[in-house]
Amino acid sequence: MAGSRLAVVEVDPVTTTSHNRFSEVLKRACKACGSEFETIYKKKVYCTKACYLDFWYDRLGGRKKVAELGKKRRTGPKAEQYRARKRVNWLKQAYGITLEQYKNLCEIQEGCCAICGVVPSKELFHGLHVDHDHLTGKIRGLLCRWCNSMLGRVEACPSWLSKAESYLAGEAEV
C-alpha cells in the first residue's frame, strides 16, 4: 500500500499539490480503448481495470499465454529468484525497509515471534510478518502469522479481547 509510511491526513486530492501524484483533474484518452476519462493521478492511462487487462493480454499474446508465463515464473527454474525479488520489493513498498533491515530485526528477535516466542516454520507460516502501526507506519517488530492476525483483530475492535476472555470464562450470553 503506497503511502502506508505516512501519517493519516485529511487531503483534498483536487486542490493539494504537496503530493506529486495529486494535482488538478486531468482529462485523458484511454491507452486501450481511446475513450476519454478524468483522473487526478498523473500516471493513470487506462479508464478501467478491464481496459488495462485487455491491453496487456493483447500485448502479451492472450489470456492463455499470460497464464502460462505466470505459471512458468512461479514454478520454473528461476522461481526461487522470482519469489525473493518479490519479497524484497514488498518489504520496500509496504514498510519502507530493506531485506537487510528485516534480517537484522529477525536476528534481534532470535528468529522468534515478538509475542509468543515461537519460531515459525517457513513452509507453514511463510516466515515472520512485519508488525507496524497503521497510523504512523512505525515498525514494532516481527510476528508469526497467528499473532499478527490476532493483534489486527484487537486493534480493529479493542473490546474484542475482553469479550473473548468473558466467553472463555463461561460468562458469555447465549
What's the N-to-C CA distance of the chain in angstroms? 40
Question: What's the Cα-to-Cα distance from 44 to each of 21, 31, 47, 93, rounded to whole Å?
Answer: 10, 10, 8, 19
Low-confidence ranges of the chain (pLDDT < 50): 1-22, 124-125
Strand partners, 141: 131
Of 89, 91, 86, 90, the closest CA to residue 106 belongs to 91
Residue 171 DSSP SS3: coil
The pLDDT value recorded for residue 19 is 41
Q: Is the whole model's pTM more than 0.75, yes or no?
A: no
The pLDDT value recorded for residue 173 is 61
The pLDDT value recorded for residue 37 is 93
The pLDDT value recorded for residue 174 is 56
The pLDDT value recorded for residue 101 is 92
Question: What are the structural domains of the chain?
Answer: 1-76 (no CATH), 97-174 (3.40.1800.10)
Other Cβ atoms within 10 Å of 75 Cβ, number = 9
The pLDDT value recorded for residue 14 is 43
The pLDDT value recorded for residue 33 is 93
User: What's the CA gap between 109 and 117, in Å, rounded?
Assistant: 9
Q: How remote is the C-alpha of 174 from its chain's centroid?
A: 38
The pLDDT value recorded for residue 108 is 92
- CA angle (53, 56, 61) in 5-degree steps: 120
